[in-house]
Structure 1
Amino acid sequence: MVEVLALVEARLRSALGEPDARAAVTFLGTDRIEVLRFVDGDVVRYATLGMSAHPMADPTAALADPVKGPRAELVLSVRAGLADTDKALRPLAVLAASPQVEGVIVAPGASLDVGEPLWPGTSFSSVLVAEPGGLVEDLDLDEPMDPVHFLPLLPMTANEAAWKRVHGGQELQERWLAHGTDLRDPLRRSVTLN
């Protein structure tokens, strides 16, 4: 576990630079989850560290495999200085702990909801999990372990989350693209959904 997390942190540093802050959260019955903050010009990136320590297990499986199974970390990118986005550290840790706490597999296309605003003054309480491989490349681990995917998180308003449940994540992403939505804007409003 420690070796995997050391490799994950090294991959994050090589892709995003040196973190300028980190916070750790431990939930009852779970391993420690850290959130690292990276500043790149006018963009702040928050990356979890700890979610990939163990593979995510199928909640219907009788026994969880301690070696094989999907592994991931979460990455959120927002514009700096527009909102108090550092308050997103705890909600991100909650999302990263969800495979251990709730027995879910976090994968592209999934919606994750924290039930409260991601940071003060925002209408975002959920995120859409996007495809990995763009910002931070997958990290291959020794066989038989699965690679670690770095999954981008796209904040959604309540209306967008409801629309996504009906139409799907791909349709929502296409709507954002068609309207030129700045998904890094921590103060943005919901995209037009009619």
Structure 2
Amino acid sequence: MAADVLELTENRLRSALGEPGARAAVTFVGTDRIEVLRFDDPAAGVVRYATLGMSAAAMTDPLAAVADAERGPRAELVLSVRAGFAATDQVLRPLAVLAASPQVEGLVITPGASLDTGEPLWPGAPFTAVLVAEPGGLVPDLELDAPRDPVRFYPLLPMTPTEAAWKRVHGAGALHDRWLTAATDLRDPLRRSVPLG
């Protein structure tokens, strides 16, 4: 049952990130409800936003001959930003839109993928897209009973339009290398684009 998966998923988020300080629900026509939970980490000076609802159904390739609601990858999205520098709580709806994209557009989200919101992630944000990073670090995978795939929690790395365009040409690995070389603080909600010349 999808409700069972969501309960287990929320428990995993709580065990990894603590108690959510706030939550909001967004519903889009023709999709299940997506919640976004906010977790504050004052010690690290970071606020984290995690989706809840995307993992209720497996992501399926729209070209697949038969859609299987049980088998296939499951995921939630996690965005971490430095607290207190921007109105990042306005990211709730864009995050919910991204989390609904497997249902709406038939996307199968994987590490290295770019997800574009078409608008700033929050008012005044220099980012309109995110890069999907490798799961398993911040929130461990949640194993489910067979035949279900585990739920993976994908960190999202905000990208400026320039970075997103450069990544499309050169790939996620090359962009990661540029960020690393420039010692980029990917949690800085006000950061500029990394030098890409």
- With the shorter chain as reference, the TM-score category is over 0.9
Q: How many residues of Structure 1 are paired with residues of Structure 2 in the alignment?
A: 194
Shift of 1:54: 0.1
Shift of 1:59: 1.4
Partner of 1:110: 113
| Gaps in structure 2 of 5+ consecutive residues | none
C-alpha distance in structure 2 between counterparts of 1:115 and 1:141, whole Å: 34
Normalising by structure 1, report the TM-score. Answer: 0.99
C-alpha distance in structure 2 between counterparts of 1:95 and 1:127, whole Å: 10
Which of 56, 61, 64 is matched with 1:58 structurally?
Answer: 61
Instruction: Verify: 1:174 aligned to 2:174, yes or no.
Output: no
C-alpha distance in structure 1 between counterparts of 2:147 and 2:31, whole Å: 24
C-alpha distance in structure 2 between counterparts of 1:167 and 1:91, whole Å: 26
C-alpha distance in structure 1 between counterparts of 2:125 and 2:6, whole Å: 31
Instruction: Verify: 1:2 aligned to 2:3, yes or no.
Output: yes
Cα RMSD, aligned residues only: 0.5
Displaced runs of 4+ in structure 1, greater than 2 A?
none
Give the secondary structure class of the aligned counterpart of 1:164: helix
C-alpha distance in structure 2 between counterparts of 1:119 and 1:63, whole Å: 38
C-alpha distance in structure 1 between counterparts of 2:146 and 2:125, whole Å: 42
Give the secondary structure class of the aligned counterpart of 1:124: coil
C-alpha distance in structure 2 between counterparts of 1:72 and 1:19, whole Å: 19
C-alpha distance in structure 2 between counterparts of 1:107 and 1:53, whole Å: 17
Give the secondary structure class of the aligned counterpart of 2:155: strand
Partner of 1:24: 25
Shift of 1:63: 2.3
Partner of 2:135: 132
C-alpha distance in structure 2 between counterparts of 1:170 and 1:75, whole Å: 20
* Structure 1 residues 55-112: Cα deviation after superposition (integer angstroms, max 9, x where no partner): 0001111321011000000000000000000000000000000000000001100000
C-alpha distance in structure 2 between counterparts of 1:60 and 1:83, whole Å: 40
* Structure 1 residues 20-75: Cα deviation after superposition (integer angstroms, max 9, x where no partner): 00000000000000000000011000000000000000111132101100000000
Partner of 1:94: 97
C-alpha distance in structure 2 between counterparts of 1:127 and 1:189, whole Å: 14
C-alpha distance in structure 1 between counterparts of 2:117 and 2:104, whole Å: 13
Normalising by structure 2, report the TM-score. Answer: 0.98
Identity between Structure 1 and Structure 2 (%): 74
Of 56-65 and 137-146, the range deviating more from structure 2: 56-65
C-alpha distance in structure 2 between counterparts of 1:175 and 1:131, whole Å: 17
Alignment of 1:134-149 (within 5 A): 134-149=137-152
Give the secondary structure class of the aligned counterpart of 2:66: coil
Which of 73, 78, 82 is matched with 2:81 structurally?
Answer: 78
* Structure 1 residues 121-165: Cα deviation after superposition (integer angstroms, max 9, x where no partner): 111000000000100000000001000000000000000000000
| Gaps in structure 1 of 5+ consecutive residues | none
- Report the AA paired with residue 22 of structure 2: A
Which of 41, 46, 51 is matched with 1:43 structurally?
Answer: 46
